[in-house]
């Protein structure tokens, strides 16, 4: 039996003919007509709250990875199309409606590790094979908000604490470290305003 | 030459290799996963030249109107090729992991309404095919081009023979032959000696095959 390209996202179920022998997590809420290609998307989904992920209606997830830490929460609106992007969430990442996220994109709300050398050293021990992951040093986080109608180009990176205004376009390869105004077009590393576009 | 068994002894992905592909001699393909979103209705929709290699998670995202050609001895090592019209890649090219070659991106003058319409259309399509919001522009890589990892080559671009695109570089304009380009925004930092002559190629074919 050949795999179909897409299957409905149904909480707590296995996808038929999935190449990855995993399950769709049970603590997610999904609207109608939202689809996915493989449960591999949830390989790093560790949210243990009642709802760690909310997905609206008519959403397409294709080869995306939704990594969520225990206390993390990702919200995705309606009609979003997310290609093979990595969304890595420690606390909160909010994506509005009609958002397109291209292949190779990374969106994260933390830097994964502390910047202070002593704390960072301690973190390597805590995350080591014999370490205690529950007692990791504190990691700075900043919620990420991507408003409606944002398009994020190939291989772009959106880092912690950033809000991207509605209708904005992130150029391919851009590394976004600051807020992006509504309807703006930003490019480069760090991403800078190129020109306003019509909304 | 239809079917995966010719190329893939053990494929972890339960997929097909489309039958509108022309394969040269000694083509190598890691997995049919590369073709899971190959929806070209052209015939051929893809040409893979002699001794071309399709490795790792190289992915062909090709729409019904899309067409890709890959020259001989070209190495696709985890590249993403996104075509709704035409991507032509020459011989002896190297495309590293995470590099994106696309003939389609967003027209910055496109309205939010047209973007919404495209996304709505995709949600109604059984294959979740996203129609281009702006018209595609063909992309060409001449022979012996090297594209570094996670670089992006945008629509309409021609990369000249022998040029080198550094890693994580975004290219939106034509690059002259033998240029070395880095950065975002990109800049040309030097030019290479154009010593990749046909004689050099013939010598290499004698020296570096088999053994």
**pLDDT tens across B58-78, in order?**
999 999 999 999 999 999 999
Q: Tell me how close the Cα of B111 comes to any Cα of chain A, in angstroms.
A: 6
The strand ranges marked E within chain B are 21-23, 28-29, 46-48, 53-55, 59-62, 68-70, 75-77, 80-83, 87-89, 94-95, 100-102, 139-141, 146-147, 152-153, 158-159, 164-165, 170-171, 179-182, 187-191
- On whether residue A134 sits in a domain, the answer given is yes
Strand pairing class (A53-55; A7-8): unpaired
Predicted local distance difference test score (pLDDT) of residue B3? 41
- If you average pLDDT over residues A179-194, what whole number do you get? 94
- If you average pLDDT over residues B12-41, what whole number do you get? 93
Q: Do residues B11 and B4 lie in contact, with contact meaning Cβ atoms separated by under 8 Å?
A: yes
- On whether residue A23 sits in a domain, the answer given is yes
Residues in B closer than 8 angstroms to A167, CB to CB, are: 112
- On whether residue A1 sits in a domain, the answer given is no
Look up the ipTM and state it: 0.91
User: Which of B79, B115, B126, B149 is the best mutation test for A, with the most CBs of A within 10 A?
Assistant: B115
| Residue numbers of B between 68 and 87 with CB closer than 8 Å to A | 80, 82
Inter-chain CB pairs, A–B, below 8 Å: 109
* Domain CATH for A40: 2.160.10.10
Predicted local distance difference test score (pLDDT) of residue B129? 94
- If you average pLDDT over residues A58-84, what whole number do you get? 97
Tokens of A57: 């209606």
- Interacting residues of A10 by C-beta distance below 8 A, sequence separation 6+: A24, A30
Which of A58, A104, A189 lies closest to B123 in CB terms? A58
> Distance between terminal CA atoms of chain B?
28
Domain count, chain A: 1
Which of B14, B82, B168 lies closest to A19 in CB terms? B14
> Chain A residue closest to B170 (CA)?
A173
Domain that holds residue A106: 7-195
Q: Do residues A197 and B108 lie in contact, with contact meaning Cβ atoms separated by under 8 Å?
A: yes
Residue B16: pLDDT band with limits 50, 70, 90: confident
Whole-angstrom distance, CA of residue B124 vs CA of residue B147: 36
**pLDDT tens across B88-132, in order?**
999 999 999 999 999 999 888 889 999 999 999 999 999 999 999
- On whether residue A75 sits in a domain, the answer given is yes
> A80 and chain B: CB distance < 8 Å anywhere?
yes
Tokens of B123: 């949600």
Tokens of B121: 């259309």
Task: Decide: residue A111, CB within 10 A, 0-12 exposed, 13-18 middle, 19+ buried.
Answer: middle
> B186 and chain A: CB distance < 8 Å anywhere?
no
Tokens of B46: 């893809």
Which of A1, A169, A195 lies closest to B106 in CB terms? A169
**pLDDT at residue A3 tops 80:** no
> B38 and chain A: CB distance < 8 Å anywhere?
no
> B13 and chain A: CB distance < 8 Å anywhere?
yes
Strand pairing class (A7-8; B100-102): unpaired
Whole-angstrom distance, CA of residue A41 vs CA of residue A97: 20
Helix or strand holding residue A65 (H, E): strand A65-68
- What totals of helices (H) and strands (E) does chain A contain, helices first? 1, 20
**Which of A54, A63, A113, A163 does the annotation list as catalytic?**
A113
- Give Cα separations from A66 to A25, A93, B31, B158 (angstroms): 11, 10, 24, 35
A104 with B169: Cβ contact below 8 A? no
The strand ranges marked E within A149-199 are 151-152, 157-158, 163-164, 169-170, 175-176, 184-187, 192-196
Residues in B closer than 8 angstroms to A17, CB to CB, are: 14
**pLDDT at residue B2 tops 80:** no
A100 with B37: Cβ contact below 8 A? no
* Catalytic-residue membership of A113: yes
| Residue numbers of B between 90 and 109 with CB closer than 8 Å to A | 98, 100, 102, 105-106, 108-109
Q: Concatenate the DSSP letters of all residues of B171-185 into one string.
A: E-S-B-TTEEEETTT
- On whether residue A179 sits in a domain, the answer given is yes
A133 in helix, strand or coil?
helix
- On whether residue A155 sits in a domain, the answer given is yes
B93 in helix, strand or coil?
coil
**pLDDT at residue B8 tops 80:** no
Question: How many CB atoms within 10 Å of residue A70?
Answer: 12
Average pLDDT of chain A, as a whole number:
94
- On whether residue A63 sits in a domain, the answer given is yes
A154 with B59: Cβ contact below 8 A? no
The pTM assigned to this predicted structure is 0.93
Whole-angstrom distance, CA of residue A178 vs CA of residue A192: 9
> Chain A residue closest to B185 (CA)?
A188
A154 with B80: Cβ contact below 8 A? yes
- On whether residue A2 sits in a domain, the answer given is no
User: Which of A61, A173, A194 is the best mutation test for B, with the most CBs of B within 10 A?
Assistant: A173
- If you average pLDDT over residues A147-161, what whole number do you get? 97
Tokens of A95: 């994506």
Task: Decide: residue A117, CB within 10 A, 0-12 exposed, 13-18 middle, 19+ buried.
Answer: exposed
A60 with B122: Cβ contact below 8 A? yes
| Residue numbers of A between 41 and 70 with CB closer than 8 Å to B | 58-60, 62
Nearest CA among B151, B174, B172 for reference residue B105 = B172
Whole-angstrom distance, CA of residue B30 vs CA of residue B79: 13
> Chain A residue closest to B36 (CA)?
A5
Omega before A190 within 30 of 0, i.e. cis:
yes
């Amino acid at each position: 039996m050949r795999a179909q390209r897409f299957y409905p996202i149904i909480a707590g179920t296995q996808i038929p003919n999935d190449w990855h022998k995993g399950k769709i997590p049970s603590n997610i809420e999904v609207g109608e007509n939202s689809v996915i290609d493989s449960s591999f998307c949830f390989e790093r989904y560790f949210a243990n709250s009642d709802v760690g992920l909310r997905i609206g209606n008519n959403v397409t997830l294709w080869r995306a990875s939704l990594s969520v830490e225990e206390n993390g929460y990702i919200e995705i609106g309606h009609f979003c199309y997310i290609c093979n992007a990595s969304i890595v969430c420690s606390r909160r990442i909010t994506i509005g409606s009609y958002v397109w996220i291209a292949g190779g994109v990374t969106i994260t709300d933390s830097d994964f590790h502390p910047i202070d050398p002593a704390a960072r050293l301690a973190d390597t021990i805590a995350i080591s094979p014999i370490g205690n992951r529950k007692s990791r040093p504190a990691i700075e986080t900043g919620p990420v908000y991507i408003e409606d109608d944002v398009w994020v180009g190939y291989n772009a990176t959106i880092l912690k604490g950033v809000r991207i205004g509605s209708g904005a376009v992130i150029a391919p390869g851009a590394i976004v470290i600051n807020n992006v105004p509504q309807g703006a077009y930003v490019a480069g590393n760090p991403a800078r305003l190129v020109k306003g576009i019509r909304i | 030459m239809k079917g995966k068994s010719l190329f893939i002894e053990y494929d972890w992905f339960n997929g097909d290799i489309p039958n509108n592909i022309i394969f040269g001699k000694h083509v190598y393909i890691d997995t049919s996963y590369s073709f899971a979103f190959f929806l070209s209705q052209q015939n051929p929709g893809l040409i893979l030249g002699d001794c071309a290699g399709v490795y790792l998670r190289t992915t062909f995202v090709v729409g019904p109107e899309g067409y890709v050609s890959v020259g001989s001895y070209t190495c696709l090592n985890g590249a993403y090729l996104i075509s709704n019209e035409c991507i032509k890649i020459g011989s002896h090219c190297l495309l590293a992991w995470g590099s994106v070659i696309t003939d389609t991106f967003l027209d910055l003058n496109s309205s939010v309404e047209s973007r919404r319409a495209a996304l709505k259309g995709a949600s109604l399509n059984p294959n979740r095919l996203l129609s281009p919001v702006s018209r595609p522009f063909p992309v060409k890589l001449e022979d012996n081009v090297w594209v570094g990892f996670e670089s992006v080559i945008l629509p309409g671009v021609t990369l000249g023979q022998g040029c080198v695109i550094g890693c994580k570089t975004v290219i939106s304009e034509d690059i002259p032959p033998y240029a070395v380009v880095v950065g975002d925004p990109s800049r040309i930092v030097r030019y290479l000696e154009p010593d990749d002559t046909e004689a050099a190629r013939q010598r290499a074919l004698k020296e570096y095959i088999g053994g």
